[in-house]
A = this chain, B = another copy of it.
């Protein structure tokens, strides 16, 4: 821990033989001066390894180059990809991200938000695990801009969501393109907005008579759904699942039942949570919500807002893409990929 004092712009100025003001302008490419002076200052700065003190700079510029990311997604399944995208969009702008997880605890959330505001964040990105649930804290009247990603915000806010309907449609059409005709949708709890959206899109593509089974977001529900389907009526030849965990449960249950996937039944999941989708046997074809891109977009938007640029409020929908692996059957792989990927709405 070398306690060598950081060199300040003052040192750079002195050694370059200019005033502090000139040094500042030279380094920030502002003001007017001979190219010679500017390069000389820049060179001495580089030689000295000068790095401006971001706090001091923030104090005058009223901009901290810091943003806050608030999330209530404990597992990080949604947050981490989003975070990666945000960082990607912001790192070369020199913006750093405060991450704080709040587990649906309103008091804790307020503490964190206050701490962020105290630290003069330029903006806050709120993210969660459900599009139709708000974080337990009101971000509406903050003195900094807010972008909502994957969580519900006020009507006049800037909100980013992935396109559940388009994703579900892509999955369903893929199954139809494979020649499947008896499609079933096994999904999560009925009161989730995304469940409703996906189910509606599924029915629209597969026919309004196509069965939809609502349940839990778990492997166990996938198992149960299969045993229900196989004990009741005409068995399906394709199952589109509401998430990868359900899909994994379905695939496992089918295997145990001696039903071949994808030969007898095609299965498609949702989320592309690789730890689940890639470990399933066979690996899952699944809908990827492009969360990293969503994060990138959130980063871009919060930056524009922070810079005072106008950003149209409202809900921005980002397309999902179908990731084709083996669980759907791949006879017409080429055809599917042509249809299923990155379809604009």
Given contacts A99-B99, A143-B4, contact A114 B51 (CB under 8 A): yes
Q: Tell whether, in the assembled complex, residue A53 and residue B120 are in contact, meaning their CB atoms are under 8 Å apart.
A: yes
A207 within 8 A of B: no
Q: Which residues of B contact A92 (CB under 8 A)?
A: 111
Interface residues of A in 227-277 (CB under 8 A from B): 245, 252, 256, 275-276
User: A83 to B142, alpha carbons, bound, how many Å?
Assistant: 26
A111 surroundings in chain B (CB, below 8 A) = 91-92
Residues on A facing B (Cβ under 8 Å)? 1-4, 6, 51-56, 58-59, 64-66, 74-76, 79-80, 83-84, 87, 91-92, 94, 96-101, 108, 111-112, 114-120, 141-146, 218-220, 245, 252, 256, 275-276, 279
Whether the Cβ atoms of A64 and B55 lie closer than 8 Å is: yes
- Contact (Cβ within 8 A) B75 A80: yes
Number of copies: 2
Contact: A98 with B101, CB < 8 Å? Answer: no
Picked from B74, B143, B245, B276, the residue with its CB within 8 Å of the CB of A2 is B143
Distance (whole angstroms) from the CB of A80 to the closest CB of chain B: 5
Q: List 5 A-B contacts (CB under 8 A).
A: A2-B141, A53-B59, A91-B112, A96-B98, A219-B279
Give min CB distance, A222 to chain B, whole Å.
10
- Knowing that A55-B58, A76-B80, A97-B100 are A-B contacts, what are 7 other residue pairs whose CB atoms are under 8 Å apart, sorted by A's residue number? A55-B55, A75-B76, A76-B79, A91-B100, A91-B115, A96-B116, A256-B256
| Complex A-B, nearest 8 residue pairs according to Cβ-Cβ distance, in ascending order | A76-B76, A99-B99, A54-B118, A54-B119, A76-B80, A96-B98, A219-B279, A2-B141
B51 and A117 form a contact (CB under 8 A) = yes
Q: Complex formed: what's the CA distance from A245 to B256 in Å?
A: 20
A196 to B5 Cα, complex, angstroms: 43
Say whether B74 contacts A96, CB under 8 Å. no
Q: Once the chains bind, are B2 and A118 in contact (CB under 8 Å)?
A: no
Chain B residues in 8 Å Cβ range of A218: 279
| Given known A80-B76, A96-B100, A115-B96, contact A55–B51 (CB-CB < 8 A) | no
Instruction: Determine if B54 and A120 form an interchain contact, defined as CB atoms under 8 angstroms apart.
Output: yes
Knowing A66-B119, A83-B101, A108-B91 are in contact, say whether A143-B1 is a contact too (CB < 8 A).
Answer: yes
> Are A96 and B119 neighbours in the complex by a CB distance under 8 Å?
yes
| A143–B6 touching, CB < 8 Å | yes
In the bound complex, residues from chain B placing their C-beta under 8 Å from that of A53 are: 59, 118, 120
Neighbouring B residues of A84 by C-beta, 8 Å: 74, 101
A64: nearest chain-B partner, CB-CB: B55
Contact of A143 (CB < 8 Å), options: B3, B75, B79: B3
| CB nearest neighbor in B for A112 | B91
* Given A6-B143, A275-B275, A94:B115 Cβ within 8 A: yes
- Residue among B98, B145, B275 making CB contact with A98, cutoff 8 Å: B98
CB-defined contacts of A52 to chain B, threshold 8 Å: 118
Interface centre among A3, A144, A279 (most CB of B within 10 A): A279
Looking across the interface, which residue of chain B has its beta carbon closest to that of A145? B1
Shortest CB–CB separation between residue A150 and chain B, in angstroms?
16
Which B residues are CB-close (under 8 A) to A51?
Answer: 114, 117-118
